Structure 1
Amino acid sequence: MEKIADIIESIANEKGLEYADVAERIKTAFIQTAKKVIGEGLEYDVQIDKASKELRLYEHILVVADDDERLDETHFISLKKARQIDKSLEIGDSLNYELNLENYGRTAAAALSKEIEYHIGKLIDDKVYEKYTALIGSLVIGVVTSVGNDETTFVEVGETKTLMSRKNRIKDEKFKVGDTIKALIRSVHFDKRLGIKIELTRTSPKFLEALLKAGVPEIKEGSVIIQNSARIPGKKAKVAFFSTSPNVDAVGTAVGVKGVRINAVSKELNGENIDAIEYSADPAIFVARALSPARIISVKIEDKKAVVMIDAEQKSKAIGQAGINIRLASMLTGYEIELIESGSSEHKDNEEGLKNLKALFGEE
């Protein structure tokens, strides 16, 4: 085929692909076509002449001994016959015959066209898969193209189609065609029906973290770190921050002047209430802070359980509406939290046990 190099370059430019990648897929398309049209069991090779820009298709025949049992004149040729063609050939060398698919008529042309279309399409899919797999966990902006009957939202990110299922959308959130939305790339995989399936989410705690990173330069630069986050999407979230610099107030920086930064994120999350908490490496302090706005008397860590002493009037704040505050505090810290009211029998038992322990060691 004449000037195949120009065709490869044109495809590469049009599809935004590398020339070398397209060239390899074109070679594969010619070989697969040859197997279908000429013979499945033969060995083929394809070379592109850079000077003439022509593609050459070859059939390989292995040179074997004159008495080799495999001799069939199709896959193998005797050394004697091979040297009649090229005296330099030895046993184990390949004798190459150039083939021309144009000699096999319209069937070959149609088969080649389908093979090229398939392999270039597969190359595009592979590149999209590689690109978006590397972007899992990243924030993207796209435009809603349609909404399915099952409320799956289809979003175009750049020139790539993605989707967001109902479960990955904040409750009561509605989108219509043409809306511009932000989301997090949740997963990328191949689907037999849809091809590459790129799933978005707006419910993951990582989406909240990505929004904060985008809106707070100090987080992006690394002077403020998000230690952990927990969400009940659309209702409430807690985020633990710490500063890598003594001159930077982690919580104040994340919240912004008059709450402008944290409020912008809350607005994007459909009004989700966000508690910004200063992280502590001391589990007891961290648990106490995580239960804000409640004021805590004390925290005792028992393996993965935190026993929290609290005044009765603070208990409802610690629990929160429908238990949301204590659930998020537990999710954020990783501890099961048990609340004990000050003055309760459990409190007295704890105090008595503490007195006995002190007496044992001779302490007042």
Structure 2
Amino acid sequence: MAKKVATTDFQELFSAIDELEREYKIEREYIYSVLESALLTAYKQVRGIKDKNLSNVKVSIDPEKGDVKIFEYKKVVENVKDRRNEISLEDARKIDKRYQVGDVVAIEVPISDFSRKAAMTVRQTVIGKIREKKRNIIFEDYSAKIDNIVTGVIQRIDKKNVIVEIEGGKVEAILPMEEQIPGEEYKPGTMMKFYLVDVKIPPKEKEPIVYLSRTHPNLIRRLMENEVPEIQEGIIEIKAIAREAGSRSKVAVYSNSSRIDPIGACVGEKGIRIQNVLKHLGNEKIDIVKWSNDIGEFIKNALSPAEVVHIDLNLVEKKAFVLVPNDQLSLAIGKGGQNARLTAKLTGWKIDIKGK
């Protein structure tokens, strides 16, 4: 004979409800509805009922006591023709002598009548539905945070991926190898800023996977937005970013107010604003350059600190021929061609630099 299950086997389901509601905002009503549905399924299993009609069976949940009861509602009749929905007057009066024909009797179905298998079905169904709900909540929550910065703590390295705990441990995120800054150390326990790239629910995964980046240009954009109020207010715009993560970046900025210098505002008094950005980027350097809709002027600004003598533009091929003093040629090109390369990325033009 299958072992019967005691009411206490369901108490663990209730003990988790407060935590789920508080931490993941899973409504109690949802959990109760899932539990009710699972209990009705188990009831059908115990009673050997195959059709879907259970209109005479109700589940009662007492949140205060954490108590669950199942009742069968049967009409009192003289002669029983439908045992699922009817009870004889004689049997009804064994429950209460006051019952009359036509009354409805509520008969409790003891949870102890459930086999352990049925109880396991209830527990697995409820836990499965709650996990699914939690998974969807996490997915929706972090989908809304895509293209923003999150703070996380390095947990471990797993197959060259860095596992990061974000939002106080609610979620483990992945910093893939290709999104890591070359040469940057990721020591467990270190707190860092990350750019949230994507959230996915892969097949057979219990939880959504949050993907982070340390190399994305928008990490710099969001860091600067946090540090420069004029960007938040829309007075200053970040027009373009060219980045070689861990080494150097160029950020093109524009002011919508003639009274505010975009470079000065971004750098801040004594460089405090840009330093607050750089402290999250290790050894990376950032050049703040003034954007202009005059492409010649923009290229000239982007090549700074090198002095530009002359620029010829090929509008068809979007190619700029830049002339600089011989003694500044290496400065204009940059170490390993980096300054010219970043200027090309920033402006969207091919750059050909010659000395004079």
TM-score normalised by the shorter chain: which range applies? 0.7 to 0.9
> Are 1:164 and 2:178 matched, yes or no?
no
* 2:219 alignment partner in structure 1: 207
Cα offset, 1:273, TM superposition: 1.4
The alignment yields a C-alpha RMSD, in angstroms, of 3.7
SS at 2:279 equivalent? helix
Cα offset, 1:278, TM superposition: 1.1
Question: Structure 1 residue aligned with 2:18, among 2, 10, 34?
Answer: 10
TM-score, normalising length: structure 2: 0.73
SS at 2:257 equivalent? coil
SS at 1:152 equivalent? strand
What is the CA–CA distance in structure 1 between the aligned matches of 2:187 and 2:241, rounded to whole Å? Answer: 30
Cα offset, 1:132, TM superposition: 0.5
What is the CA–CA distance in structure 2 between the aligned matches of 1:47 and 1:284, rounded to whole Å? Answer: 77
Q: CA contact under 8 A between 1:320 and 1:326: conserved in structure 2?
A: yes
* 1:226 alignment partner in structure 2: 238
| Residue identity matched to 1:263 | Q
What is the CA–CA distance in structure 2 between the aligned matches of 1:9 and 1:286, rounded to whole Å? Answer: 59
* 1:321 alignment partner in structure 2: 335
Structure 2, unaligned runs of 5 or more: 1-6, 73-81, 87-106
Cα deviation per residue 1:87-143 (whole Å; 9 max; x = unaligned)?
xxxxxxxxxxx9969444221111100111111111111101100011011111122
> What does 1:176-191 correspond to in 2, within 5 Å?
176-191=187-202
| Residue identity matched to 1:242 | Y
Question: Structure 2 residue aligned with 1:114, among 108, 124, 145?
Answer: 124
Q: CA contact under 8 A between 2:181 and 2:245: conserved in structure 1?
A: yes
What is the CA–CA distance in structure 2 between the aligned matches of 1:240 and 1:57, rounded to whole Å? Answer: 70
Question: Structure 1 residue aligned with 2:135, among 110, 125, 135?
Answer: 125
Relative distance call for 1:54 and 1:262 in structure 2 (3 A) is: same
Question: Structure 1 residue aligned with 2:311, among 298, 312, 337?
Answer: 298
> Are 1:260 and 2:272 matched, yes or no?
yes
Structure 1, unaligned runs of 5 or more: 59-80, 86-97, 343-364
Cα offset, 1:232, TM superposition: 0.2
What is the CA–CA distance in structure 2 between the aligned matches of 1:201 and 1:211, rounded to whole Å? Answer: 13
What is the CA–CA distance in structure 2 between the aligned matches of 1:185 and 1:57, rounded to whole Å? Answer: 50
Query: Greater CA deviation, 120-129 or 296-305?
Result: 296-305
Cα offset, 1:244, TM superposition: 2.2
TM-score, normalising length: structure 1: 0.72
Percent identity (aligned): 26
SS at 1:171 equivalent? coil
The count of corresponding residues between Structure 1 and Structure 2 is 309
Q: CA contact under 8 A between 1:147 and 1:154: conserved in structure 2?
A: no
Cα deviation per residue 1:139-184 (whole Å; 9 max; x = unaligned)?
1112222223525243333222112122212111112221111111
Relative distance call for 1:330 and 1:29 in structure 2 (3 A) is: farther
Greater relative CO, 1 or 2 (CA 8 Å, sep 6+): 2
Cα offset, 1:47, TM superposition: 6.9
